[in-house]
Amino acid sequence: MDNRIILILIVAIALLSGCKQQQPDNGRLQIVTTTGMIEDAVKNIVGDKADVEALMGPGVDPHLYKATQGDLQKLTGSNIIFYNGLHLEGKMGEILEKLGHQKPVLAVSAHIDPSKLRKVPEFNNNYDPHIWFDVALWSEAVKEISRFMQSYDTVNTLFYAQNEIRYQLKLDSLHTFVTHKIKEIPKSQRVLITAHDAFGYFGDAYNIEVKGLQGISTISEYGLRDVSNLVDFIINNQIKSVFVETSVSSKAINAVVEGCQQRGYNIAIGGNLYSDAMGAKGSPEGTYEGMVRANVNTIVSALK
Ligand SMILES: [Zn+2]
């Protein structure tokens, strides 16, 4: 047989078996999440009792993300959907609301005490959705996932509860790690400058000043005045480094670096931070814990 025909056949078979796998008949719950951080939290609770998949992979910006045709199939075929809420998934609200009439569609932020949330006037007076940056706040999202799973799948209530206890202990020590590590930066250098305002909870929880060029959502644009204000601030405070975010274009931060250079001040790019998406699957940064540790290590080594 002609080599090309064999190749076409192999591809066709792979595609067909791929389609079959999309709806596995293994009797396990099918859970779909929006972000990778939520996927990781759900996996820590459900263990091997469910298949969990995130729609948004590494480097994907949730503020701008629109569901693809493939996503719609996954969402429709799932039993449960977890999303962040607080308008993080700015372009998926309508789809999630529609699906909510057919199956459980849960915002992991839904039961967090509003007094613990940051209200942001520039974000239409909504709350800041980046709750995963304060590990203690993220623990509450994990609690919400566990609470739902315990009541939804009562055969495994105890299993989910035990997993939650184990994972919450890990999160507690992660919170302690971040708290101590940030203190290694001299107080005058404790300023975190990124492209968009993702790190507000991080700043509040771990005592570091936070500045972003764009607002809470990457939908908002920044202007020349924002760049020049930030350049003034950097020079006046002799800040050593600014940071790029893996899910946001580096254009904004490059504009700040260039602005500093034009004024004769050399500012370094301190590294890449995982702001709204985790790292590659299978790498340490591909888990929530690894993402937080990597961010903190990058921030501390660039600023201290
Ligand atoms: Zn964001």
CA of 216 to the centre of ligand 1 (A): 6
CATH number at residue 266: 3.40.50.1980
How are the residues of the chain apportioned to helix, strand and coil, as percentages rounded to the nearest 5? 50, 15, 35
Q: Are 152 and 48 in contact (CB under 8 A)?
A: no
User: What b-and-e string marks burial along 147-186, b requiring 16 or more CB atoms within 10 Å of the CB?
Assistant: bbbbeebeebeebbeebbeebeeebeebbebbeebbeebe
Whether residue 49 sits in one domain with residue 89: yes
CA of 184 to the centre of ligand 1 (A): 26
CA of 3 to the centre of ligand 1 (A): 48
Q: What is the pLDDT along the chain (304 residues), one digit of tens a residue?
A: 555 554 455 445 444 444 433 445 678 999 999 999 999 999 999 999 999 999 999 999 999 999 999 999 999 999 999 999 999 999 999 999 999 999 999 999 999 999 999 999 888 899 999 999 999 999 999 999 999 999 999 999 999 999 999 999 999 999 999 999 999 999 999 999 999 899 999 999 999 999 998 888 888 788 888 999 999 999 999 999 999 999 998 999 999 999 999 999 999 999 999 999 999 999 999 999 999 999 999 999 999 9
CA of 26 to the centre of ligand 1 (A): 36
Distance of CA 17 to the CA centre of its chain: 31
Last residue of a domain, one of 143, 159, 175: 175
Whole-number Å distance between alpha carbons of 180 and 171: 14
Whether residue 170 sits in one domain with residue 122: yes
Last residue of a domain, one of 143, 175, 207: 175
Whether residue 169 sits in one domain with residue 72: yes
Whether residue 60 sits in one domain with residue 160: yes
Q: Is the pTM of this model over 0.85?
A: yes
CA of 198 to the centre of ligand 1 (A): 5
CA of 66 to the centre of ligand 1 (A): 15
Whether residue 186 sits in one domain with residue 155: no
CA of 191 to the centre of ligand 1 (A): 18
Which residue segment(s) compose the domain that 205 sits in? 179-303
Whether residue 261 sits in one domain with residue 133: no
CA of 214 to the centre of ligand 1 (A): 10
Whether residue 241 sits in one domain with residue 166: no
Residue from 213, 236, 214, 207 nearest 296 by CA:
207
Whether residue 154 sits in one domain with residue 45: yes
CA of 21 to the centre of ligand 1 (A): 32
- The DSSP element (H or E) to which 43 belongs, if any, is helix 36-46
Whether residue 262 sits in one domain with residue 213: yes
Whether residue 109 sits in one domain with residue 220: no
CA of 57 to the centre of ligand 1 (A): 14
CA of 160 to the centre of ligand 1 (A): 30
What is the number of domains present in the chain?
A: 2
